[in-house]
Amino acid sequence: MSTEFRHITRIAETDLDGALKVAYAISRIKGIGINMANVIVRKGGVNPEMRLGFISEQDLAKLEDIIENPVKYNLPEWLFNRQKDLDTGENLHFTGSDLVLQTKTDIDLMKATKSWKGYRHSYGLKVRGQRTKTTGRKGKAIGVKKKRVVGGKSSG
């Protein structure tokens, strides 16, 4: 165990707060949720109650290797964010900017193939079947303006 405390620790191209417990700190990396973080910490053999700033360099390297290669460490496949990839057919897990780029590529593919989801993405509408009559409105038009009466009194 390292004796000096690191306030900021860099794992998987992300700066993490050293004051957080290991699993919660790792879950701050884009593409890693709390369940995935708990499995990574357990596979890495790190005490989950320890703060990230007190972890040794060897443990940090092991955690980073597990994050980059989860298939190598036999993590459950249902935790991966890219199961049966269209290109390779393998189970993959993307983090950080790789995840953002892959998501953008998938949306562009849907637009190019003119699928229903692609149309919804291109028009900026809800994609997953949500209601659109009352929610998700954008722009200035809010509500309805009442008709003005010209002379102060209405005839009728």
For the domain 8-79, what is the CATH code? Answer: 1.10.8.50
Is residue 121 predicted with pLDDT exceeding 70? yes
Q: Which residue has the tokens 């659109």?
A: 132
Q: Is 150 helix (H, G, I), strand (E, B) or coil?
A: coil
Reported pTM: 0.75
pLDDT band at 137 (very low <50, low <70, confident <90, very high): confident
Is residue 155 predicted with pLDDT exceeding 60? no
Give the Cα separation of 119 and 116 in Å (integer): 5
At 87-110, the pLDDT tens digits run: 888 888 999 999 999 999 999 999
Is residue 150 predicted with pLDDT exceeding 80? no
Give the Cα separation of 80 and 77 in Å (integer): 6
For the chain, percent of residues with pLDDT exceeding 70 = 91
Question: Partners of 81 in the beta sheet?
Answer: none
